[in-house]
Amino acid sequence: MSERSLPKSGSNGLSRRGFLGRTGSIIGAVALAGHITPAHAAAPPGPIADGARVPALVIGTGYGGSVAALRLAQAGVDVQMIEMGMSWDTPGSDGKIFPKVTTPDYRSFWLRTRTKAPLSNFLGFPIDKDVPKYTGILDAEDFAGITVYQGRGVGGGSLVNGGMAVTPKRANFAAVLPSVNADEMYDTYYPRANAGLGVGMIDPAWFDTADCYQFSRVGRKHAQRSGFAWTFVPDVYDWDYMKQEAAGTATKSALAGEILYGNNHGKKSLVQTYLAQAKATGRVAISALHKVTSVSPAAGGGYTVTIDQINTTGDTVATKTVTADRVFFAAGSVGTSKLLVKLKATGALPNLNGEVGKGWGENGNVMCGRANHMWDPTGKLQSTIPCSGIDNWDAGGAFAEVAPLPTGIETYASFYLSITKNPNRAEFTWNAATGKAELSWQTAWKQPSISMAKTIFDKINSKEGTIYRTDLFGANKIWNDTLTYHPLGGAVLNKATDNYGRLHGYTGLYVIDGALIPGNASVNPFVTITALAERNIEKIIATDLP
């Protein structure tokens, strides 16, 4: 790389020597604080010390953050990752780290006193219940017109998601990331992401006989009888492990109703993949239960980062100020967008451009259930890991995941999460009076999603002589149109940032998560988030770092 490519100007331009001089400082600062001894020791270093100076600070430990940390560390840069959630490595009183979907407890929700399950009702009865307030794993974050579900903890969304690892069809890619070279993505970065995440496909022969996928086979039958394309969908779950669960030779996880509040076995979350590799470099430290509240230019170059250390009821127990030469925003679409609009509006980062906060979408998510005939049972044992989808994207704008209802009883229900081509986009803004970021999304903006999902399910219902379930999301409610699992956008690539995620207005500040994707990925998004992060960090390391 050339000297010319290094940033030089402005109060935050870093000299090559300054940057090199600071690598190693995280480990040094931590060692001084007495948490570990030698640099790059195998034991995980403790939390970041107040006053530390670090070469690279990553906000968040989800997909974008984990890719950034691993690749920076491999390039010889020490990385400090700051994560507001817990590290989820200690069993609770039941001996397990994560509770089942059917028995939520204090570990399940982020600082709520009552659960807010995506499926709020069953047979018409509400299923939510009171729980102690705790820094639990799933955040149901309420905005005026939508609830955004997100993972909280080391590993981000990978802790709670279904692991569906879908590369968009190449023909749809130009609409997903218009400024990105598709050849590079499909030749290099999607394969790299799939390998890094450990993506695999269910064995089709096993699928055809496994009791736990009867619900998917019913989904296939109904889709195909109505003339829709039905397809297997890859996942990061260890399929061999699931076979052992079914055979009774391994402790059950997917087959024991574990998913939304974490999997104790089987699923390859980022903790088992990118983060394990990152930690093995000895250059990555993670501070859990630490929340970044501010980033602003530091007098001597780099950025002052303010961090609240919190306890498990969410109270701040310490506030730390550290200096970072470079800061990577990887707090997820919502977390990154909220931080950036606040920092721009409050004058911490006034030079951020007017695109910050804009271009936010919910990936067109909408849920529904269908009531099958008594001769079409979906099975009382259902794997929590979806493995198939119905593709009507080109004709109707919808891709529907055939989802499980792992209740443990026969429900005669088929359940679906549809991803649709909803064109509506919302904006985050800072409300100075309340001191909170707001999102302009309105519930009525889901109507296009409902119409697109209906192109599939109206036809199937008509063909099968069946009806929609009305007992899953509240009284007589067919569509769950008040949530998303897939927040995207808010700091869109090539708008709020340059074409590689460098924030306009500041040298050394980067966005590297789902906030870069303009509201819709056409499929489940984490493979695209990972692949884009791989692409961007490679460029950043090659051109911005010494």
List 419's β-bridge partners, or say none. 399
The answer to whether the CB of 378 falls within 8 A of the CB of 366 is no
Residue with token string 């009171």: 130
Interacting residue with ligand FAE among 486, 495, 502, 535 (CB under 6 A): 486
Does position 262 interact with ligand FAE (CB under 6 A)? The reply is no
Does position 156 interact with ligand FAE (CB under 6 A)? The reply is yes
Q: From residue 216 to residue 255, what is the string marking binding to ligand FAE with x (rule CB under 6 A)?
A: ----------------------------------------
The HSE-up count of residue 156 (CA atoms within 13 Å, CB side) is: 32
Answer yes or no: 83 catalytic: no
Does position 362 interact with ligand FAE (CB under 6 A)? The reply is no
Edge-to-edge strand list for the sheet holding 138-142 = 138-142, 147-151, 483-484
The answer to whether the CB of 371 falls within 8 A of the CB of 467 is yes
Q: From residue 164 to residue 193, what is the string marking binding to ligand FAE with x (rule CB under 6 A)?
A: x-----------------------------
Does position 335 interact with ligand FAE (CB under 6 A)? The reply is yes
Residues with Cβ within 8 Å of residue 4, at least 6 apart in sequence:
none
Interacting residue with ligand FAE among 73, 330, 349, 405 (CB under 6 A): 330
Please tell me the distance from the alpha carbon of residue 322 to that of residue 55, in angstroms, as a whole number: 11
Please tell me the distance from the alpha carbon of residue 477 to that of residue 482, in angstroms, as a whole number: 11
Residue 136 token pair: 């639990």
Does position 337 interact with ligand FAE (CB under 6 A)? The reply is no
The HSE-up count of residue 378 (CA atoms within 13 Å, CB side) is: 28
Does position 81 interact with ligand FAE (CB under 6 A)? The reply is no
**Minimum distance of ligand FAE from residue 22's CB (angstroms):** 21
Query: Which residues in 490-529 contact ligand FAE (CB under 6 A)?
Result: 513-514, 524-526, 529
Instruction: Return the SS3 of 295.
Output: strand
Nearer to ligand FAE, 73 or 81 (CB): 81
Interacting residue with ligand FAE among 7, 60, 257, 266 (CB under 6 A): 60
- Tell me which residue of 472, 414, 99 sits closest to 256, measured CA to CA: 99
- Tell me which residue of 526, 524, 523, 504 sits closest to 513, measured CA to CA: 526
Mark residue 266 as left, alpha or beta (left: phi above 0; alpha: psi -120 to 50; beta: remaining). left
Q: Which of 401, 427, 464, 538 is catalytic?
A: 401
Segment interacting with ligand FAE (CB under 6 A) among 160-168, 217-225, 309-317, 447-455:
160-168
Mark residue 142 as left, alpha or beta (left: phi above 0; alpha: psi -120 to 50; beta: remaining). beta
Please tell me the distance from the alpha carbon of residue 16 to that of residue 3, in angstroms, as a whole number: 9
Give me the amino acid identity at 416. Answer: Y
Does position 64 interact with ligand FAE (CB under 6 A)? The reply is yes
Does position 404 interact with ligand FAE (CB under 6 A)? The reply is no
Answer yes or no: 40 catalytic: no
Q: From residue 268 to residue 307, what is the string marking binding to ligand FAE with x (rule CB under 6 A)?
A: -----------------------xx---------------
Interacting residue with ligand FAE among 26, 52, 69, 82 (CB under 6 A): 82
* Residues involved in catalysis: 401, 486
Binding site for ligand FAE (CB under 6 A): 59-64, 82-85, 149-152, 156-157, 160-164, 260, 291-292, 330-333, 335, 339, 485-486, 513-514, 524-526, 529
